[in-house]
Structure 1
């Protein structure tokens, strides 16, 4: 039988095409960018360092600690909002996007901070909060003055004569209603978060141009990028369809991810971001799945750089509750989807979460240090841009307030008031907040054993964790085996080892309920990471001989060889395989 020459040619073409696509995908995955290699340190400015004794952290306080920040080895800082704000939601309710909140200082202070950071090789990422503004922003003052005001369509309104607005649940409101009645214009305005945070109407092209002008203002000042707050919600289905039963499980789908979400982001890229090609752009809450997240950062779509998804921190209140196997599955599923293109963030703590060691580790006196080191090892050895929260480098833990009076957070306080109105179990609520409240991650930085941990000479805006006399920077600087000095070693290793940034990730022993084991491989170099997430000795099963392997770094500081395929409580080991 004669072989059809054209069929052979076609088959060869397909083979080379497939090979070419694979090679291109691998090139995309390892395409070097500063924002892929960055270790981003998040600062909650209100809680970092107070310079003037008013109990509130400020820009001059951060400036005074720039040498400390450089000593960590980090090369970028994400700064939570410092814009002018009445402070209903700790700065996420912005009344002027081009001014600095007086609590934090002045624009001159900001310019000095930016200059000092850049002199030390540290880049600055600002929060871009444009799903909503403050109700004290001039736009909203104008919009709520009359139905005919030119700024009216900067926000979402529902006229009272149309009857009750379609139900939408508010994340922060006492009564859980996202439509607030405005008597002056006999209308309701939409607020997904606090009633003092009216949602901006991105359907209005004038509003979008205002946002783009704000972005240019800060980028022209020299900042290095934006973390985009609640960005999945900027586009909404303004037909306001009725919410189906169980909508809470897919809140992003029904509250955001509107029909024009990606149209708007692509427009933003064309008009602003493409003019600043080195800027980092991070999409917070990038959808409900890897597929959703990819749409934000697929290079071919020309939108943003980094997807910051919440599935891994939204699994439960403690790793013991939801199980390590589920946790591993989430990270592995996302990594598999992003292995050839797009880029993820890696984080397990931020200003909206309890402390890392209290949620994913063990903050008892026996295990706080070793489990903190283990968690830092995890964050620094996964593929993706590392985001690391202030205070975790010294193992700060949940403060666990007993009284509602200790809380400042609008989320906790409003939920408490709403529960009180309904006659709910307030004691049980407060007990739960000891583990889950955002306030646990916002207590002041513990610098030394002086009063208030050296954070302030005045009364701190939020109580300092009482353990500050032993858990503080000064004490850990002196201890070569401290969490702080281990963190520095991890940062240095990641900066010097491309395998830990760009290397292929492979999950190992995936059904193990106690050990998270994976390899990273790049250009023939292979590294193995073994992490025991339990307080007991745990064994693992991998088909990799370890007799000739070299331990690069471990959190017990005395591991020479792995024996009997077992790990001590919360042990973390980074191994180079021969």
Structure 2
């Protein structure tokens, strides 16, 4: 596909719909709320909106336990509200990406109700059922991602069903051809309504080992880490046959014009790139979470970028992610000063960047009182520090009591200091992180070198990470100081004699740097 394809040169913006904008005063965000804020997204400069699940659900895992793939939960609105959102997104020249959750359903989904009704039910094989071991214990040692056994015994039929996550989230059997076709029909339902693509949840989990062998122990595991890490997931995920399934999904999308398939994949780089598929027949964008998982220092980041670029298949398009609804916010991980450097990194690397709502206003760590905890993982494995609620708190729009998000107490607490850290206040501050994001996005959209250009590392040492982006005769150099100390950098051709295009401090514009540039503490510079 040409480099001008929207999902290559565009910017994706993830919205967690419970927390973006409440339109009806119930303390929870909804689809009309998202629609009411689209002009903000246009002003920000993003190109595509990805919304986390909005399907009918008992909300055991906040929508990732789907009870109807072809509807909208009343909490978020109606199908008519969704259609209106799609129309308004497209009217503004944006794209809409929908979360698709194919690995598991809710235990209240009609398919599972049928499946567990008897061993002979036609939908029995749509889920993963196994006999107990001779002693009555689970079929193997697989562990749930949320802690405890991944197997739940069903008294009525005398078998266990598999759930990679909560027991209320039974896994579907993607080896069953009828189940596959039913799920592809779900994709067509939303594609026919105008959806521009899908982010596919835990796509590397879809196929399990046919023999259900035990996972081997992880010798590096420590008890303070989640129980899921106690075993190496070599049989419960990332099976070779999953690529056939993804290729079939891709063919469904290829029956429509200009659609994108994005896969959620938490795997090392060498395994991640396999999800582009043979001859690029897999996911257009296997999500690259390396910036979330690596140590925040220049040498580690330079190494991972080089390794990722080298591992990409011929024609595979890169992508980068700094945060999402499952990971601590970037400002919580690296601090407010380095969050600005991180913004410049995300928006200048080669490939499609995905932003997470609220990062552009610098939301950091939000403490969740014990009586306000919502995350089922935290409830299952309390005290390990992996509560996902802090990255799901409401968007902060203005200095009103509930930050313009709602007229009542929101479902999760607001960040402290939201009266000062919100869209309205930061928009009026020329040097704010919000205006830095806007400036970075304008520069990216206005220069083909940043949008679709080549990447070339620049040799740097210590705390500075540098690289060159180029397209034809257009060249931009990026230097990022990942420390709190001032650092001088000696420039060599072709960087010497360039001028400052943008600083993370939003000053120095058009300053000529000659053969040397002085990076201030926590400063990133784009030269051109």
Alignment TM-score > 0.5, same fold: yes
2:199 to 227, 231, 236: 227
Aligned to 1:352: 326
1:372 to 339, 359, 375: 339
Aligned to 2:57: 85
Larger radius of gyration: 1
1:400 matches 2:367: yes
Secondary structure of the structure 2 residue equivalent to 1:96: coil
TM-score for both structures, normalised by structure 1? 0.85
1:531 to 446, 468, 480: 480
Q: Note if contact 2:243-2:277 (Cα within 8 Å) is conserved in structure 1.
A: no
1:263 matches 2:215: no
Q: Note if contact 1:499-1:527 (Cα within 8 Å) is conserved in structure 2.
A: yes
Aligned-residue offset at 1:171: 0.8
Q: Note if contact 1:546-1:562 (Cα within 8 Å) is conserved in structure 2.
A: no
Q: Note if contact 2:3-2:9 (Cα within 8 Å) is conserved in structure 1.
A: no
2:315 to 326, 330, 341: 341
Aligned-residue offset at 1:201: 0.4
After the TM superposition, which segments of 4 or more aligned residues of structure 1 sit over 6 Å from their partners? Answer: none
Aligned to 1:489: 439
Q: Note if contact 1:117-1:123 (Cα within 8 Å) is conserved in structure 2.
A: yes
Distance 1:545 1:306 in 2: 32
1:556 to 505, 514, 519: 505
Q: Note if contact 2:291-2:320 (Cα within 8 Å) is conserved in structure 1.
A: no
Aligned to 1:439: 389
Greater alpha carbon shift after TM alignment, 233-242 vs 37-46? 233-242
Aligned to 1:303: 282
Secondary structure of the structure 2 residue equivalent to 1:121: coil
Query: Unpaired runs of 5+ in structure 1?
Result: 1-27, 417-425
Count of residue pairs brought into register by the alignment:
514
1:500 matches 2:454: no
Secondary structure of the structure 1 residue equivalent to 2:103: coil
1:315 matches 2:294: yes
Aligned-residue offset at 1:522: 1.9
Distance 2:519 2:263 in 1: 36
Secondary structure of the structure 2 residue equivalent to 1:468: coil
Distance 1:561 1:400 in 2: 44
Deviations 1:478-499 (CA, angstroms, capped at 9, x unpaired): 1222221221121111112111
Aligned to 2:377: 411
Q: Note if contact 1:49-1:62 (Cα within 8 Å) is conserved in structure 2.
A: yes
Aligned-residue offset at 1:177: 0.8
- What are the residue-to-residue correspondences of 1:43-442 with 2, within 5 Å? 43-160=15-132, 162=134, 163-164=136-137, 165-173=139-147, 176-246=148-218, 248=229, 251=232, 253-270=234-251, 272-285=252-265, 287-290=267-270, 292-298=271-277, 300-315=279-294, 319=296, 323-338=297-312, 340-359=314-333, 361-363=334-336, 367=337, 371-401=338-368, 403-416=369-382, 426=383, 429=384, 433=385, 437-442=387-392
User: Per residue, is there more helix in 1 or in 2?
Assistant: 1
Query: Unpaired runs of 5+ in structure 2?
Result: 220-228
Distance 1:542 1:256 in 2: 46
Distance 2:453 2:314 in 1: 11
Distance 2:376 2:17 in 1: 18
Distance 2:168 2:235 in 1: 22
Q: Note if contact 1:231-1:286 (Cα within 8 Å) is conserved in structure 2.
A: no
Distance 2:217 2:321 in 1: 32
Q: Note if contact 1:252-1:288 (Cα within 8 Å) is conserved in structure 2.
A: no
Aligned-residue offset at 1:37: 0.8
Secondary structure of the structure 1 residue equivalent to 2:354: strand
1:480 matches 2:453: no
Distance 1:293 1:161 in 2: 34
Distance 1:253 1:504 in 2: 35
Q: Note if contact 2:273-2:313 (Cα within 8 Å) is conserved in structure 1.
A: no
1:566 matches 2:511: no
Distance 2:7 2:155 in 1: 47
Aligned-residue offset at 1:250: 8.4
Secondary structure of the structure 2 residue equivalent to 1:517: strand
Secondary structure of the structure 2 residue equivalent to 1:97: coil
